Amino acid sequence: MDKRMYFIYNPHAGMERIRSNLLDIIDIFSKAGYEVTVYPTRDKGDATRATLNMKDGYDILACCGGDGTLDEVVAGMMKRSCRIPIGYVPAGSTNDFARTLKIPRDMRKAAGVITGGREFKCDMGSLNDRTFVYVAAFGLFTDVSYGTGQDLKNTFGHLAYIMEAFTRLGDIKPHHMKVSHDGKTEEEELVFGMVSNSFSVAGMRFLTRSDVTLDDGLFEVTLVRMPSGTIDLGAIATAMMSGESNDYVSFFKASEISFSSGESIPWTLDGEYGGSLKKARIRNRHMSLGIMVPQEEIIESLSP
């Protein structure tokens, strides 16, 4: 064996499917000629620490877990002076970014993509000093993913997010914010804001636009203003389904955008709690990381 792989996995992700697939996954890696070092995570943030502490000399870092596990691995890799490609075996409840990259849901097939696919240089993002992979958001329902218990996720899967969201319908509250991008600043009363680079967020395609390009240096931005009644809610729903801006919803692209408010506002990064902030500066880190994708996929075909 002349190739080395570092393999980080979260044994509790999704419905703990990794437990029945782990030996098969390692066998696929080994048969492809890799000497595999295996690291199971134990606590939140452990995947980041393992990535940072990984010794030099590995050819690829593979990880298995949900979007949160991938987020932690990417955060660690972005802090390393020498970056190597990342392979991803999705095992979470939604797996938004894997879906975007056409990585198979089947864990054995995803392992095959890592060993037989190709490297795709895609954009990453930063919010102040934090790295994120595909989405940073605040406002209505954005805490559902990290506020939903792991046991509930393991039992009900994606339905768990919907169940949790219904308990929060009475919590609609606007945030007065200054939004700055492309040399202009506007003040808005916003109930939701999302900066993304994905075809799917929280398992729902309608939350994102169809003109997404993963390596163009631009984020897709969605801002939703405070509705005043039932008619406004209908207009918001229409805009979200059509992807067309109106008086209540704005869609645009930006490589950098800043939000500021007089109050601390909770942010979600890739489905995990990203901190409560009064100021958030979000920047696109163009083609900054290599991810293994299926060999047969052409970059232009990575579309919804």
Q: Which residues belong to the active site?
A: 272
How many CA atoms does the CB half-sphere of 69 hold within 13 Å? 31
Residue with tokens 């980080």: 8
Strand pairing partners for 290? 121
Report d(CA 284, CA 256) in Å as an integer.
6
CA separation for the pair 84, 207 (Å, rounded): 31
Residue 39, CA distances (Å) to 10, 25, 26, 61 in order: 9, 14, 12, 11
Query: Which residue's entry shows tokens 């929060």?
Result: 168
Contact 124, 255 (CB under 8 A): no
Q: What are phi and psi of 107, to 5 degrees?
A: -65, -35
Q: Report helix, strand or coil for 74.
A: helix
Residue 284: strand pairing partners: 125
Rounded distance, CA 143 to CA 13, Å? Answer: 18
